[in-house]
Structure 1
Amino acid sequence: MSAHPLDINAVSEWNTALRSATADGQTVIVDFWATWCGPCKAIAPVYDNLAKQYSWVKFLRVDVDKQQAIAQKYQISAMPTFVAIKAGKVVDTLKGADPAGLNRLVATHAGPNPPIPPMSAEAEAAKEEGNALFKAGDYAGARDKYGKAIELAPRSFVLLGNRAFASLKLASPDFSSALSDAEAAVKLAPTWAKGHVRRGEALEGLGRVDEAVKAFEEAVRTGTGQVKTEAAQKLEKAKTKLQ
């Protein structure tokens, strides 16, 4: 994901950006600006910094004079105007060069890091069945349901992580399968801390403790809240095994 706003130079670029963001579950933040607009230039560094801070969000810039069709579609009447878009629909708007307001807009609508791609109703149903079986302690059944969901949504790193966890919870844990799923998950979502935790657990179960330590370190680096705390605890335990 880019850490810099993307300048939109054609309607086709705009459409492609929105479609790809929807497919990836990304929030889109748009800066509608003009070259003659002094406040637009004044707040541009704030917008650039937010793009770096929220690297999982898609930041766009639209010059209203060059892309009048886009500006008219979104009824832009003042510059700068910042628009938050989710799944192709406008969810919030901010008019004017208001740094505090812009920070709030982005923080409110940024969504999870990394973004979670939307799934079909069939995939969601299979996932929920898997969750119910997991809660009931039927880990083998849960793994099968997660597998069906993955067939329908192969890009879902969350489903891969769920199946990895189910493999780890079996009476005879399937560490190899768990590792395969966890590695596929973090390949899709390199900053997903929970995926790195599952990868570390699988590696530790396979006796590859030195690699597990690195996986837990990555989980600590990318994680927040409870996931980060869990990763830190597992990291310390894994380090103890190496001593």
Structure 2
Amino acid sequence: MTTLLHLDASVRGERSLSRKLSKAFVQAWLAGDAHAQIIERDVGRNPPPFIDEAWIAAAFTAAEKRSPAQHEALRISDALIGEVERADVIVLGTPMYNYGMPAALKAWFDQIIRVNQTFTFDLARGDFPLQPTMADKTLVILTSRGEFGFAPGGVREHMNHLETHIQTCAHYLGVARSHVIAIDYQEFGDTRHQESIVAAFERVPVLAAQLIDQQGMPMCASA
């Protein structure tokens, strides 16, 4: 059975296009794999706390030596890591804010990328001492962007610090494959924006079906 971790990072509610995209992806997955398990995590509406000095001290203290206060400081981190560990596919709906991640999404990554939990550190590995502890996960980024040209080769590729940052961090969550479906031109609100919406939603069920097939799950007759 495949487990999807469905994350939303937009601070908007029903107006959010990234939320609509991620919801459509999960629905398309369930249409093809009715037995999939879905873990819901809404960091846009319920952001995790920022890490602080107490969190760092607890994270770098061996588990058996932590005080009750230190265990409490890592309680949310432990829960979020557990969700990622259970997931085969991470479905991330996120807008682009100021060319990068929403603060709540960055806080989520900071809570999860944790030494001796999601990665190990060993100087015997030379110049690449960090190594993720999880592997073989798939990431689907479903996003909406105010401008356009952020894809490879686009006029704003150099300004895209959303997908590149997510993919860099996701390596330490065991992500081996990533896919992006994006809506562009949101601030323009013209026909190009409408065409981009249509194109993105058309791609969603196609990608879901492809990934279900790669996961080796049988397609439902209604899919």
**Which category of TM-score, normalised to the shorter sequence, fits these structures?**
under 0.3
The structure number with the bigger radius of gyration is 1
Normalising to structure 1: TM-score of the pair?
Answer: 0.24
The higher-RCO structure (CA 8 Å, 6+ apart) is 2
Larger strand share, 1 or 2: 2
Larger helix share, 1 or 2: 1
Normalising to structure 2: TM-score of the pair?
Answer: 0.26
